Amino acid sequence: MLTFQRFTLGPLQTNAYVLIDAGRTRAAVIDPGMPDPAMLRRLEGLTVEAVLLTHAHFDHIGGVDEVRKRFGCPVYLHEAERDWLTDPALNGSLRWSEDTAPVRTDPPDRFLKDGDKLELLGETFEVYHTPGHSPGSVSLRCGEFLFAGDALFRRSVGRTDLPFGDSETLVRSIRDKLYALPDSLIVLPGHGPETTIGEERTGNPYVRLEK
């Protein structure tokens, strides 16, 4: 059974997730926000199959360079943000200069698109393109878990006042894609505590659908 460990990193308290396969020999990382020593130690001795990015804002990508170089793994990102890893203006690290140095790393190795099914760690990861917070935002479902990035939070949603954000697009992403998923699905967001689709469908004040 797939297990995960959450690391809350950086000035914006971004959730990074280390996923480990049932045999405890393989791993993947979702949104390594900075090169955190504890997270890197957790990966030692494991075959890291991928870095999966829900989007490419600086607080989600600060550790990409070190993880990729240390473990020789590919980085996956939606094509709408293909240039963001190399450009501090696009990934927001120039805008937040009081919190971070400019963040630059090599381009993504592989692109994600809506409907993709990735075979990693002996599991299937389903890709949902959920733009609005950013144009290339994706949510990743694996079994009973949904790694939602900055689309959907517990009783909140991702901000849309940053460049390339759009509130109407985000609401559509949540209503049409995420709220169509099973109520029992556990949502693991990019910031803050976990929740479920059912809890947010009926209780989220920003995007709410009655049963």
Long-range contacts of 66-69 (CB under 8 A, 24+ apart): 66/32, 66/35, 66/40, 67/29, 67/32, 67/35, 67/40, 67/43, 68/105, 68/106
CATH number of 3-203: 3.60.15.10
Q: Which residues of 31-54 are buried (b: 16+ CB within 10 A; e: fewer)?
A: bbbbebeebbebbeebebbbbbbb
Measure the N-to-C terminal CA separation of the chain; round to a whole number of Å: 31
Looking at residue 133, its pLDDT comes to 98
Supply the pLDDT for residue 209: 73
- At residue 96 the predicted structure's pLDDT band, cuts being 50, 70 and 90, is confident
Domain ranges of the chain: 3-203
* Mean pLDDT for the stretch of residues 66-90: 98
* 99 pLDDT above the threshold of 90: no
pTM for the whole thing?
A: 0.97
At residue 210, the pLDDT reads: 54
Confidence band of 124 (pLDDT split at 50, 70, 90): very high
- Dump pLDDT digits (tens) for 14-71: 999 999 999 999 999 999 999 999 999 999 999 999 999 999 999 999 999 999 999 9
Longest pairwise C-alpha distance within the chain: 47
Confidence band for 98, pLDDT divided at 50, 70 and 90: confident
* pLDDT for 25: 98
Model confidence at 166, pLDDT cuts 50, 70, 90, reads very high
Average pLDDT, the chain: 96
Average pLDDT over residues 134-154: 98
pLDDT tens for each residue of 100-116: 899 999 999 999 999 99
Of 23, 14, 87, the closest CA to residue 53 belongs to: 14
Residue-level pLDDT at 93: 95
